[in-house]
Structure 1
Amino acid sequence: MLGYVKIDKGELKVREYEIYTGYYCGICKSIGKRYGQLPRMALSYDAAFLAVILASLSNKSDLPVQEHCIAHPLIKKKTIIRNTAVDYAADVMLLLAWYKLIDDANDEGKLYAKTTIRLLKKIYKKLQARYPKLCREMETYLSHLASLERERCSSIDMAAEAFSKIMELIFSEGIVTLYSQNPSGFDDPEKYNKTYSLMANIGYHMGKWIYMIDAADDIEENADTGAYNPLIYRFNYDENLETTAQFRERIESDLRFNLYHYLAILSDYIDSLDIKKNKGIIENVIYLGLNRKTEEIITRKDKDKQI
């Protein structure tokens, strides 16, 4: 997850915003308590959405507490939410950060990545022991994705598939981790299996959207550096024939069609979930936050500064 899955703050109720940030701060606290302060740098609002949607399937109420924040010790106490969904989202976020560091170190030789890998290696070993299937399959998909990128694959569907499968895995394994041994909120195995399938599809189609929106966001940077971007190869960008602004204008209709197609499918699966709490937050992200981010990046409007 890359920082694109956010709320539309202006359309969220005050209480809902407090709960949402409580999940975000809860993830930060979870990391600090279990792994130390350094890994907190990988914190992302994407992880907050993962925690919110996983927790929304349980009948258990959120139990917010007020605590001081280590990053802002002089500011009044903040709302913190702790539950198993928060811990799982924190772990997933650290795994994704770890694999990103590995990619940066291997492909780009970045010194900061090599240094941070040494510092986080023990943490990764703990996560690998806790989630062997998740780590094993994520590594397989990431290896395939890296291969496609090295080949400069011109198929957006092929390039996006590997990342989409990672997201599918993250969301579906969240159901297994949180509910397979303690099926709170599930009346029978059939309902559990249906929820597992829905969450897998939510993760998959969100992965499609994230991969393409990230590619759209990075057009200028990738065109300048020569880094792989599926859009550049799919639509044959040539710096000698057009500017990146002209390229964006040329592919805008294709981008818009595909991105909103992914969001339409995603919303259908969200609508089928039996959400027991925080529905307003989830709907805000899916129907407002992601749409806003889509328009923001397609049209290159200023990025959201509200969070």
Structure 2
Amino acid sequence: MQIAHDYGQLPRVAVSYDMTFLALLLMSLKDESSDVIQSGCILNPFKKKLIISDDPVMELCAAISIVFAWHKADDQAHDEHPAAGTAVRVIFQRAFSRAVRKVPELAQTIREQLQALRELEKGPPDLIAVEMFGQLLESVFRQSARITLGAGPVAEAVSLIGRDMGRWIMLIDAIDDLTDDCNNNNWNPLSDCTREEAIKKAEDRLSALEASMDRTAAVLPYVRDGGLMANIFTAGLPDVRQRIMNNLPLLRF
């Protein structure tokens, strides 16, 4: 895995679904194929698996994942889990410094926009957080696409998918975390709603975001894995939405 290769084994916990999705999307659009090797992992070193090695897209997304993970730990250190957040922040510090050197402009964008979200969370519940996280992923996806694919219409389309994905993630997480957040007095953009009210408020919006991402993705010039990307929007995200709405466990592969 690229994070382990570039930053060591401990920061591998930084793998996130949004950056995994970004990596899949960018790799499906780039002309060059990636080198695939067989290697073990820290959890099962004796079982060899096919992994992508030394790919610019993977290196970029690994760095972004580290930056996000450090800021998440920093946020926890200042809020609900100070001891755990501080410990994780220390573990990530060296990897974070390397990642910032690799993607300084992206790191600054992430820092500034997460700080704006943190300021918002000092006030009452506000769904503007959905738009703000959408703007954050829009910026991250746009800059990442320009780095790996070049500036142009494709990079702008990727940024639109990032905007909608950010909105979708914030909404679905708000519903998924609502009960725990209310019980623990944590900020949530929907904490002024019951779970039933939150679902009613968000479900149509989530469906519309899935459809919007699918429409944008359908016009992209895929080099590979176009069917996989379409399946994410038409089957994967709707399945996650339905499971969370119905309090069912997510499928793990």
**TM-score in terms of structure 2 length:** 0.93
* Distance in 2, Cα, partners of 1:105 & 1:168: 27
Shift of 1:73: 1.9
Q: State which of 156, 161, 173 in structure 2 corresponds to 1:214.
A: 173
Map of 1:4 onto structure 2:
none
Are the structure 2 counterparts of residues 69 and 123 from structure 1 closer, same or farther at C-alpha, using a change threshold of 3 Å? closer
Corresponding position: 1:170 with 2:117: no
Residues 255, 298 of structure 1: 8 Å contact kept = no
Secondary structure at the counterpart of residue 249 of structure 1: helix
- The one of 70, 95, 105 equivalent to 1:133 is 105
CA contact (8 A) 1:198 1:269 kept: yes
User: Alignment length, in residue pairs?
Assistant: 252
Return closer, same or farther for 1:251/1:40 CA change in 2, 3 Å cut-off: closer
Hey, what does 1:91 align to over in structure 2?
Answer: 63
CA distance in 1: counterparts of 2:176 and 2:104, whole angstroms: 33
- The answer to whether 1:225 aligns with 2:184 is yes
**Amino acid of the residue matched to residue 157 of structure 2?**
L
CA displacement 1:48-99 (0-9 Å, x = unmatched): 2211110111222243222222320232x10111311111111111111011
CA distance in 2, matches of 1:64, 1:129: 27
The one-letter amino acid paired with 2:245 is: I
- Report the equivalent of 1:49: 21
Contact 1:50 1:171 in 2 (8 A): yes
Partner of 1:296: 243
Query: Whole-Å Cα distance in 2 between the matches of residues 208 and 293 of structure 1?
Result: 15
Distance 1:58 1:142, change over 3 A: same
State whether structure 2 residue 14 is matched by structure 1 residue 36: no
Q: Distance in 2 between matches of 1:98 and 1:225?
A: 23
Alignment-derived partner of residue 131 in structure 2 = 161
Query: Aligned runs of 1:145-294 on 2, under 5 Å?
Result: 145-154=117-126, 156=127, 158-180=128-150, 192-233=151-192, 235=193, 247-294=194-241
1:174 counterpart letter in structure 2? S
Shift in CA distance, 201/215, structure 1 to aligned 2, threshold 3 Å: same
CA distance in 2, matches of 1:210, 1:119: 26
Aligned equivalents of 1:215, 1:173: Cα separation in 2:
26
Q: Do the aligned partners of 2:175 and 2:198 also contact (CA within 8 Å) in 1? A: no
- How many angstroms apart in 2 are the aligned matches of 1:196 and 1:179? 7
Shift in Å, 1:105: 0.5
Q: Aligned-pair distance for 1:109? A: 4.7
The structure, 1 or 2, with the larger RCO (C-alpha pairs under 8 Å, 6+ apart) is 1
What is the CA distance between 1:147 and its match in structure 2?
1.1
Runs (5+) with no aligned partner, structure 1: 1-28, 181-191, 236-246
Alpha-carbon distance in 1 for matches of 2:110, 2:197: 34
**CA shift at 1:172, angstroms?**
0.9
Q: Distance in 2 between matches of 1:38 and 1:292?
A: 31
Of 103-112 and 209-218, deviating more is: 103-112
C-alpha change, 1:30 and 1:202, in structure 2 (3 Å) is same
275-284 or 66-75, larger mean C-alpha shift? 66-75
Following superposition, the deviation at residue 205 of structure 1 comes to 0.5
**Following the alignment from structure 2 to structure 1, what is the Cα–Cα distance between the partners of residues 171 and 35?**
36
Contact 1:216 1:231 in 2 (8 A): yes
Which structure would you say has the larger Rg?
A: 1
Separation in 2 of the partners of 1:287 and 1:42? 27
Note the residue ranges of structure 2 that are not aligned, 5 or more in a row. Answer: none
Letter in 2 for 1:159: A
Change over 3 Å in CA distance of 1:250–1:137 after alignment to 2: closer
Q: Deviations over 1:120-145 (max 9, x none)?
A: 22222222222221111211111111
Q: Provide the secondary structure at the position in 2 that maps to 1:69.
A: coil
Alignment partners' CA distance in 2, 1:99 and 1:53: 24
Give the 3 Å change call, closer, same or farther, for CA 68–119 of structure 1 in structure 2: closer
Give secondary structure in 1 for the equivalent of 2:32.
coil
